[in-house]
């Protein structure tokens, strides 16, 4: 089974690993490809992407595919669209927005602002009402089922919308990396369809082909 993790963090934000070690460890766990999406706001979008771009011309020599992107984090909702557009203009291949998880004081309105932006994924959105889910479906943004402790408390809310859900680890350390089989178990335990993992594959390949 192919599994592509679309939300991880390297040492360039609050992760523990340099990109090369992330790639090696992901490959060792059977992951087909993944995205590095380090935490950003307006102060470091350019800096993060400049660091990650150093992998662009080297990726074919690594054993699995890696997308280079960002996670827009704790930005006021009124500025999220501007941050997403800046990240895309700076070369981000995937843009994730840090959603209204139950375990952090994310500003109310962040989920809606993310859904109305050109981001690709709304990460760990917490309690998601049906109206927002419908807007997400219309806008083409995916909702995240999370393997990460704390963020996973909202998985049941997202699992209702399996057709627009993806399953990600939000990896920060080696112990966060999971196998494809375990990713499937998390989906099923949350009450989501096993087809969620196919959404990961579709989105990754779509973005990989655009790079």
pLDDT, tens only, 77-95: 999 999 999 999 999 999 9
pTM of structure: 0.98
- Residues 2 and 204: their CA atoms lie apart, in Å, by 11
In the chain, what percentage of residues exceed pLDDT 70?
Answer: 100
CA distances in angstroms from 112 to 128, 132, 133, 139, 155, listed in the order given: 10, 7, 10, 11, 18
In DSSP terms, 96 is beta-bridged to: 71, 121
Mean pLDDT confidence for 100-121: 98
- Asked if 67 and 211 touch (Cβ cutoff 8 Å), the reply is yes
Mean pLDDT confidence for 143-165: 98
Phi-psi region of 23 (alpha: psi -120 to 50; beta: other; left: phi over 0): alpha
Give the confidence band of 96 by pLDDT, cuts at 50, 70, 90: very high
Identify the pLDDT of residue 58: 96
CA distances in angstroms from 140 to 67, 113, 114, 130, 203, listed in the order given: 19, 14, 11, 15, 11
Give the confidence band of 103 by pLDDT, cuts at 50, 70, 90: very high
- 4-210, superfamily in CATH? Metal-dependent hydrolases (3.20.20.140)
- Asked if 45 and 70 touch (Cβ cutoff 8 Å), the reply is yes
pLDDT, tens only, 15-40: 999 999 999 999 999 999 999 999 99
**φ, ψ for residue 188 (rounded to 5)?**
-65, -40
Neighbouring CB atoms inside 10 A of 183's CB total 26
Identify the pLDDT of residue 69: 98
The separation between the first and the last C-alpha atoms of the chain, rounded to the nearest angstrom, is 24
The H or E element that residue 7 is part of is strand 4-8
Rounded to the nearest integer, the mean pLDDT of the chain is 98
Annotated domain spans of the chain: 4-210
Greatest C-alpha distance within the chain: 44
- Residues 59 and 88: their CA atoms lie apart, in Å, by 20
Identify the pLDDT of residue 39: 98
| Interhelix angle 196-210/180-190, nearest 10 degrees | 130
């Amino acid at each position: 089974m192919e599994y592509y993790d679309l939300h991880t963090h390297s040492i360039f934000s609050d992760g523990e690993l340099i990109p090369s070690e992330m790639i090696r460890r992901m490959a060792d766990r059977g992951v087909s490809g993944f995205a590095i999406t380090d935490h950003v706001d307006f102060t470091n979008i350019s800096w993060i992407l400049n660091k990650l771009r150093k992998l662009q011309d080297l990726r074919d020599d690594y054993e699995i595919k890696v997308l280079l992107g960002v996670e827009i984090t704790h930005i006021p909702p009124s500025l999220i669209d501007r941050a997403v557009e800046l990240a895309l203009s700076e070369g981000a291949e995937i843009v994730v927005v840090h959603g209204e998880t139950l375990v952090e004081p994310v500003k109310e309105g962040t989920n809606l602002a993310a859904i109305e932006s050109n981001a690709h994924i709304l990460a760990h959105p917490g309690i998601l009402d049906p109206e927002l889910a419908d807007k997400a479906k219309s806008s083409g943004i995916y909702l995240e089922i999370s393997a990460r402790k704390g963020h996973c408390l909202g998985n049941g809310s997202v699992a209702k919308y399996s057709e627009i859900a993806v399953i990600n680890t939000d990896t920060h350390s080696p112990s966060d990396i999971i196998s494809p089989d375990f990713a499937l178990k998390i989906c099923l335990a949350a009450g989501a369809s096993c087809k969620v993992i196919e959404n990961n594959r579709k989105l990754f390949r779509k973005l990989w082909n655009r790079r």
